[in-house]
Amino acid sequence: MTDAAPVDAAAAGDGRVWATARAFRLWLDAANGTGDAELTCRVLKLTEEAGEVAGAWIGLLGQNPRKGVTHTRDDVAAELADVAFTALVAIESLGLDARTVLDGCADKVHARIAPADRLPS
């Protein structure tokens, strides 16, 4: 990521995720452009990453008798994080603020929880 916009010290902590997603999007924009074909690839990248989660889970369960157990829960979690981060980059690539979109999603999901079980607002 040498040509990416730098993630400064102010972006540390919680803000680091959002700043890095935006910086990665800017790096991809500069390297690959922003046409529909490129945006399609960024959205489809989610499917590729989800497949890696499936492979890690299968490896954790040892479902393939030829290979046995090949992954750990940490491996599965790392692959899930790749999916989440790839989604943030895809959202940013659509010209939207990933944090705002994710906050909206959290609000929608939170509204589904029974009122007694909801987090305080």
Element (H, E) at 82: helix 73-93
How many angstroms separate the CA atoms of 98 and 17, rounded? Answer: 10
Encode pLDDT of 13-31 as tens digits: 669 999 999 999 999 999 9
Encode pLDDT of 44-93 as tens digits: 999 999 999 999 999 999 999 999 999 999 999 999 999 999 999 999 99
Give the residue extent of every domain in the chain.
36-114
Q: Give the rounded distance of the alpha carbon of 111 from its chain centre.
A: 23
> What is the model's pTM?
0.84
pLDDT of residue 8: 54
- At a CB cut-off of 8 Å and minimum separation 6, what does 91 contact? 21, 97, 98, 101, 102
Cα R_g (the chain), whole angstroms: 18
Q: Are 69 and 59 in contact (CB under 8 A)?
A: yes
pLDDT of residue 117: 82
pLDDT of residue 12: 55
pLDDT of residue 116: 83
